[in-house]
Amino acid sequence: MALGLDSVLVGWWTDDEAGTGVTVVLPPAGTLGAIAVRGGAPGTREAAALGPTGAGVECHGVVLCGNSVFGLAAADGVVRWCAQQGRGLNIRDSIVPVVGAAVVYDIASPQSTRPTAEAGWAACEAATMAEPAIGRVGVGRGCTIGKIAGRDYSVAGGLGTAIVRSGDVVVGAAIAVNALGDVIGADGTVLAGTTASPEMDRYPYAPIELIAGFTGRGTEVPDGADPAGATTTPDHSERTNTTIGCLVTNARLTKPEACRAADLAHTGIARAVEPPHTNFDGDALFLLATGEVETRADLVAALGAQAVATAIRAAVSN
């Protein structure tokens, strides 16, 4: 079962050459959707509608995309696919899907191939009830972590999944880990992170101006210059990191309860990423509630935090 529920489909599209991809989660009809954002620099679609002050309740798909804001184009393909399948709101005799999306920054170069609407469509066509692959697939293909001492010392991130249960309540999570920070195990050890030597400056303990390569795709060394005095290319560092994901549950929740559970599930990021939720991360979590089981929102939040932390660790352990 995909993420622990036999009514949920998960699919992905991967571009190995460009080092990017798309992962899509498709819930059953009538599923309630919510989102919570804690990172300082998110890139999202339908966040206002699915947020705590938005009127949107039903959600027909969630797309996790590579290539930053360019990757949001993949969501157009998911919208078209959902409409063709009759998945959406019936408004004035038209099917109008509500599809949330969030992005990670994995752009290798300005010339890289970008995910398009066709990529989103292909991910939907590939979606099944089978448990999804993890690691360097879909949105996880180009993810990196451990950039606190500069991107030159980063290592591969990826896509992780996890399922937790309490009685009849199930919460599953699919998380793309492209964090600024390191991934931390339950015992506090670093599972994967920066390869920089211990004496090197790290954010937030040192200002970014002192960290070579913090904002760029790597350290630029001018001809004839000393590498130790290299400068960096300012390229919107606020959009180069993030942990994004989608949780699914069979719980019956109201919109405010779902938004609060999604927000509290961010605790899982704080458990497994150090440092979490920085101004240079766009951490965002969607929650899809299919509504079969009556339960407490706090239980969903607790299970969600466990699932998020476990999925993050799985992303780098594959």
For residue 265, give the CATH number of its domain. Answer: 3.60.70.12
**Per the structure, how many domains does the chain have?**
1
Helix ranges (DSSP H) in 46-196: 47-50, 68-71, 73-84, 117-125
What's the confidence (pLDDT) of residue 112? 74
Q: Which domain holds residue 193?
A: 2-317
Q: Are 124 and 10 in contact (CB under 8 A)?
A: no
- What pTM value is reported for the model? 0.91
Cα–Cα distance, 118 to 133 (Å, whole number): 21
What's the confidence (pLDDT) of residue 131? 92
pLDDT per residue, tens digit, the chain (318 aa), is 899 999 999 999 999 999 999 999 999 999 999 999 998 888 999 999 999 999 889 999 999 999 999 999 999 999 999 999 999 999 998 999 999 999 999 987 777 788 999 999 999 999 999 999 999 999 999 999 999 999 899 999 999 999 999 999 999 999 999 999 999 999 999 999 999 999 999 999 999 888 887 754 444 433 343 334 333 334 444 446 899 999 999 999 999 999 999 999 999 999 999 999 998 898 999 999 999 999 999 999 999 999 999 999 999 997
In this structure, the number of other CB atoms found within 10 A of the CB of residue 251 comes to: 27
